[in-house]
Amino acid sequence: MTKLTGITYQELRQTANDAVPQDAPKGQFFDQVNQAVQLMNIVHPLESWTANSSSKGVQISKLSITNLDHQFFRGDLLVENRSLYEFLSALTTMGVRGNWDGRYDGGKMLKRISNSATLVLSAQKGQMFVAGREFATVNHVQYVDENTVDLIITSVEDEIIPPVARGKVRGHILLNGWRIEKKGDNLQVAYICHVDPKGIPVAIFSMVQGETAMQVLSVADYFKKHSAQPVILKHPEYALGADVVLKAHDMGTEKKVVLEYSVSESQEAKKGRVCLALPSTFKSGFEIKANACVRAALIPDNDLWKNMKAVEIWVESAPVDIVVEITPAKEFLLNGNKL
């Protein structure tokens, strides 16, 4: 195994010229994701939202659109002293969703579409005499501007999606959109949802949607007992190269982060870069171990990932699947050498 010494952040940036930013997934599902992104941009600033209620700092509003049976619901909350990527990490790590979503009944990633989007199958628990629902969605992280990131979720169809599970009903998500905006030391978070549950009366489901909009508070409360999770930075300055799968273990149980760069049949090798924000457990030091030639550099601290430590990992061309493991340490190391 070749060991590389650490190089400076500036030096590493100079080697990243061929890393093309990846945004909305090109090709498969592009139209569906693009429509959901545009829909989020349209409905978020509308003045026609009607205030529905207010509870524990969350403003619940609703919006009716002609020709849509169900209303849009949203929850808005000012989240204090939390960074953008801390909040995003709780939304994008499937393994911790059950800690903030009481109706979550499991899920799995079916396919990685791009560096910013995944095909996901998830389930919601039933209530009383109502069967549980499941949803097949694309979950896409959308860069809006230097202080704003969206998580866009919308239903899709694909041949690799399994049949509806026994006892469940396949619902349809027009838009589940999270907008996270940095406001000084705080965050302004909006959660906008429009779901057709298929088979539940509108009046009954409207009450459920009002409760769903309160999840913005549930995510904020998650951090009272749990740490942030590793998350890929979504920012033009930190463009993604190789198609990377981030396997983030729940930081409350196993303090290890695994990156996998898988070589497909159409590729001779994998290369590229990925930028990660790691939770506070890694802030004082970590060790990167890789089975192929990689470089790494610490990314300067930034309020966008406050309370976290960011690192850029550059993978040289390698004709094998590459596995990178990151574990806490007393200093910053790459294959035994200091960064």
pLDDT tens-digit map of 136-179: 999 999 888 889 999 999 999 999 999 999 999 999 999 999 99
Residue 40 belongs to a domain: yes
| Pair 208, 246 in one domain | no
Among residues 161, 196, 222, which one ends one of the domains? 222
Q: Based on the fold, state whether residues 323 and 197 are members of the same structural domain.
A: no
pLDDT of residue 245: 66
Mode of pairing for the β-strands spanning 332-334 and 286-290: parallel
Question: Does one domain contain both 119 and 206?
Answer: yes
Token pair in block for residue 93? 């790590």
Token pair recorded at residue 261: 């760069």
Instruction: Rank 6-15, 34-43, 177-186 by mean pLDDT and report only the highest.
Output: 177-186
Q: Specify whether 85 is located in the same domain as 193.
A: yes
Which of 203-207, 226-230, 236-240 has maximum average pLDDT? 226-230
Identify whether residues 164 and 246 lie together within a single domain.
no
* Whether residues 134 and 190 fall in one domain: yes
Q: Residue 325 sits in which domain range?
A: 9-20+239-338
Residue 213's H or E segment, with its range, is helix 202-213
234: in domain:
no
CB 176 within 8 A of CB 193: yes
Both 244 and 216 in one domain: the answer is no
Q: Based on the fold, state whether residues 153 and 46 are members of the same structural domain.
A: yes
| 158 and 282 within one domain | no
User: What integer is the mean pLDDT of 259-274?
Assistant: 60
pLDDT tens digits, one per residue of 58-74: 999 998 887 777 888 99
- Stretch (H or E) spanning 88: helix 84-92
**Per-residue b/e over 9-31, b at no fewer than 16 CB within 10 Å?**
beebbeeeeebeebbbbeebbee
Flag whether pLDDT at 12 surpasses 90: no
174 and 36 fall within a common domain: yes
- Say if residue 48's pLDDT is above 90: no
Q: Are 75 and 216 in contact (CB under 8 A)?
A: yes
pLDDT in tens, 193-226: 999 888 876 666 666 777 888 999 999 999 999 9
State which of 196, 222, 248 marks the end of a domain.
222
Looking at residues 230-238, what average pLDDT do you find?
A: 74
- pLDDT of res. 13: 34
